[in-house]
Amino acid sequence: MTGSYWAAMSMVCALAAWPVAASDAIRADHAADTIALTQLACEAGRAYARRDLKTLDAMTAEDYVQTDVRGRVMTRPEWRDYVQNRQSELSIRCDAIEVRYYSEVAVVTGASTYTRKTPKDDVVTHSRWTSVWTKSAAGWKRHEFQNTYINPNADLCDTQVPPKGLP
């Protein structure tokens, strides 16, 4: 075997390994961001439960839009007003966080368990959510959040109530 054969074989092996090496590098590059986004997403839930607007403002973009579990779409000012004036006392646990990257955008999904405190007892509900984040010099900012109650019997509901403002 000649030297050029071995050089060609080395090139083929290197090219064959390139996608694996590149994807490992991308995963390693995003490892710190994934940790940060997981922490931010969970802290967003806890800050919401505490009505901590200072913390929420620090992680929320100016163009923030939220679709809540009732299907209401709120701009950032409407959402801030709702958070500040919410009547229920909550605790929130998050889990099943996943982060996917699309260039400079991260889509973060997860689950939340809400425990609403009442004088009689605690009411526990579960949701799945999706949020969209971008990274800037100021760090990660959340732009969109959509939250849906987990209801395994949703298809069994026989009454449809259209949201306010829709025909």
Percent of the chain with pLDDT over 70: 74
Tell me what the mean pLDDT of segment 26-54 comes to. Answer: 87
Does the domain at 3-156 match CATH 3.10.450.50? Answer given as yes
59 close to 142: Cβ distance less than 8 angstroms: yes
Give the separation between CA 164 and CA 115, rounded to whole angstroms.
27
- Dist. CA 149–CA 124, nearest whole Å: 11
- Quote the pLDDT of residue 10: 45
How do residues 20-35 score in pLDDT, each as one tens digit? 333 444 456 788 899 9
Q: What confidence tens digit (pLDDT) does each residue in 99-150 have?
A: 999 988 999 999 888 888 888 888 888 889 999 999 988 899 999 999 888 8
**pLDDT > 70? residue 67:** yes
Alpha-carbon distances of 45 from 16, 31, 53, 110, rounded to whole Å: 43, 22, 12, 11
Range among 77-86, 122-131, 150-159 rated most confident: 77-86
Rounded CA-CA distance 112/115 in Å is 10
Asked if 56 and 66 count as a contact pair (C-beta separation under 8 A), the reply is: no
Helix, strand, coil share (%) of the chain residues, nearest 5: 40, 40, 20
Domain residue extents for the chain: 3-156
Between CA 147 and CA 159, with CA 153 as vertex, the angle to 5 degrees is 90
